[in-house]
Structure 1
Amino acid sequence: MTTAISLRHARVRYGPLEALHGVTVVAPGPGLTVLLGRNGSGRTTALRALAGTVRLSGGAVVWDGVDVTRVPAHERARRGLCLVPERRAVFGSLTVRENLELAGVPYDIALDAYPRLKTLLVRRAGTLSGGEQRMLALSRALLAHARVVLVDEPAQGMSPTVAARTYELLGGLDACVVVAEQRLPPVLRARAAVVHELRRGAVVFSGEACEFARRAARRPTGSSSSA
């Protein structure tokens, strides 16, 4: 089943500061879309706007052709949207097993995806390393069987091998997957993925990952880039 979620001319304000300046991004699915940008570019705000955890001051969020701008975050989640934020993505006071059990389904698939978690089931999630917490948070997303999966910096703190595995897992989901990253992960440079690059709250590039990689390779050494 196909699905898509998008921002249409979206504006977001934090007090007097406008973080998104009429941003339009489209994320088709099933498939992988990457929101690229340095800190302060607006990539995380765009992700949160899609999830409904920040309000738009202008524009719209459209999901499968329906305007969901006024639909609250919890209702979007009930309809099949899963957000994995960069921070506080797990319940630190619960064990790894208890975090996985919250999904309400057998969690063998999560342990197959990240075998490291098998040895950590009795540990409190808050005592895990940053990379281990990302594995746990993403495992819960895998178990959710969501239609739209939004992840802020999915591979943060992971080794290159585990990071590549993570993108393989996300790319294999039957869902519209949108990730926010500072740089285009090497594993995606030759993959069929959509890229939207943001700078200072505006989109400066939209296209395929391979096109973005070629464009970035042509930039002069030392030029400003988030690639």
Structure 2
Amino acid sequence: MSVDIALYGARVRYGPLEALHGVDLAVPAARLTVLLGRNGAGRTTVLRALAGTVALAAGRVEWRGTDVTRLSAHERARRGLLLVPDRRAVFGSLTVAENLALVLPPGADPGRARETYPALAPLLGRRAGTLSGGEQRMLAVARALHSPARLLLLDEPTQGMSPAATARTCALLGEATAAGRTVVVAEQSLPPALRAVTGVLYELRRGGVVFAGEPAEWPEAWSATGRPSGP
């Protein structure tokens, strides 16, 4: 298993508070990795550390075998990394079509949204800020999937989605990894459809990794120790 991007001994501080406590975490290439944990567990901070939107107080980030700890977020983006945050992931003043056009090749048809989420097709002329929360998440995921980025980091991509849209999203992320892209998803809980396409799962609690392995191993690992699965 080749590693695409990884954290080694990563510590992140927000003022006097330390959000990550020496985290070691390796993301395999061309597979889907899930970061699981409740709010405050550190999963969002892990994504930000990988993307370069927060600085490490200690440790390092390696991407494809190269130390990129001091590489800025926009340089990482230029090299093929895309972060979809849990909030403000779309440009509210632009239409759905205009949001999609930002990542499509010049002259491409924004109607390609039909290939990802058919529900977005009749909304192409709507301003993204007027969409529901679930519709905005669909647009954010569609933009990521239509971008040329090879490393996708998505924070709660299924938040606010219907069960059908959630299942569709999980299938799309699985297709992305099958096509050779590396995908990292942060979620509070593991949707059943996401379990089926996940390669590696990390559970975080209070800024540290408390489980690392395959999804099928995760429930058995907790029951064997008599500890609850929630952080």
Query: 2 CA distance for matches of 1:10 and 1:42?
Result: 11
Preserved contact between residue 35 and residue 181 of structure 1 (Cα < 8 Å): yes
Q: TM-score, normalised by structure 1?
A: 0.93
Q: Counterparts in 2 of 1:1-227, with a 5 A limit? A: 4-105=4-105, 106=108, 107-173=110-176, 174-216=180-222, 224-226=228-230
Q: CA–CA distance in 2 between the matches of 1:13 and 1:150?
A: 21
* TM-score normalised by L of structure 2: 0.91
Contact 2:85-2:155 at 8 Å conserved across structures? yes
**Which residue identity is paired with 1:138?**
V
Q: How far, CA to CA, are the matches of 1:122 and 1:192 in structure 2?
A: 34
Q: Partner of 1:172: helix, strand, or coil? A: helix
Contiguous gaps of at least 5 residues in structure 2: none
- Residue identity over aligned pairs, in percent, reads 62
How far did residue 224 of structure 1 move?
4.0
> d(CA) in 2 for partners of 1:116 and 1:190?
24
Equivalent position amino acid for 1:142 in 2: L
* Residues matched between the structures, number: 224
Q: Give the drift of 1:111.
A: 2.1
Kindly indicate whether the alpha-carbon contact (under 8 Å) linking 1:44 and 1:152 is maintained by their aligned counterparts in 2: yes
1:137 offset after TM fit, Å? Answer: 0.5
Deviation readout 1:163-219 (Å, 9 max, x if unpaired): 111011112112110000111221133445200110000100000011114335668
The one-letter amino acid paired with 2:162 is S
Pick closer, same or farther for the CA change 1:161–1:149 going to 2, 3 Å.
same
Q: Is the Cα–Cα contact under 8 Å of residues 174 and 197 in structure 2 kept in the other structure? A: no
Tell me if structure 1 keeps the 8 A contact 2:219–2:229.
no
